[in-house]
Structure 1
């Protein structure tokens, strides 16, 4: 019945820091779009064929989660480059790895991962599939 994830919503208390982390730090692209009822300008972080829509805490769009809370997400991203290249970029950008690289199990098999936190304290896992 379900094919794949199209987007998810991240609630942030620190919009500028959030956008810097995901765009400058992780290389996502900021997209502005018109959506909602009534139609208003919205923000999203694009990567691959997915996106993360952004809600600012206290200014969320309807409908929304029952308890939209910064720092409640635990996300795993699959890197488009070797994990060692990702680690070097994170270090270059001053983004602290809190664990890893470590072996884990992803949706389709074994992965090698590093963990860090975004400005809202969401747990971010960046991984590569193992052969």
Structure 2
């Protein structure tokens, strides 16, 4: 089997409308309109999707123990790190760590870390 890339990530959220607004506004992720139910919202970033699932979802296909704040993931930005930091400040989103240099999938990158509304850790990286 040859894995090509990650297609989507599903996050468990406590408040679907607030989470949608956070990811749409802060990260400029467009909302995909074709929704199958009121418990999931899908957003696009690059060639991947981010699905937000309401905590008390009736979905049968999900992780064994979906929980708030359990995700820890990295996204790659196309902006300068200073511009990203200023953008986050304009939304009153504190940086919890960074900038930190580390190795990513494509080599050296610099990252800062924030939490979303449910305390998931989001690494924002620039190559």
In structure 1, how many angstroms separate the alpha carbons of the residues matched to 2:125 and 2:26? 15
Name the residue aligned to 1:12: 13
**Structure 1 residue 14 displacement after superposition:** 2.0
TM-score, structure 2 as length reference = 0.91
Name the residue aligned to 1:116: 114
**Structure 1 residue 99 displacement after superposition:** 0.9
CA RMSD in angstroms comes to 1.4
1:29 and 2:27 are equivalent in the alignment: no
Matched length: 125
Gaps of at least 5 residues in structure 2 are: none
1:45 and 2:56 are equivalent in the alignment: no
**Structure 1 residue 60 displacement after superposition:** 4.5
Change (3 A) 1:83 1:49: same
Deviations 1:87-119 (A, max 9, x none): 111111111111111111111211101100000
Contact between 1:71 and 1:123, CA under 8 Å: does it hold in 2?
A: yes
Contact between 2:12 and 2:68, CA under 8 Å: does it hold in 1?
A: yes
Contact between 1:25 and 1:95, CA under 8 Å: does it hold in 2?
A: no
Gaps of at least 5 residues in structure 1 are: none
Contact between 2:111 and 2:125, CA under 8 Å: does it hold in 1?
A: yes
Question: What are the within-5 Å matches in structure 2 for residues 120-131 of structure 1?
Answer: 120-129=118-127
SS in structure 1 at match of 2:66: coil
Q: 2:91 aligns with which of 90, 93, 97?
A: 93
**Structure 1 residue 16 displacement after superposition:** 2.5
TM-score, structure 1 as length reference = 0.88
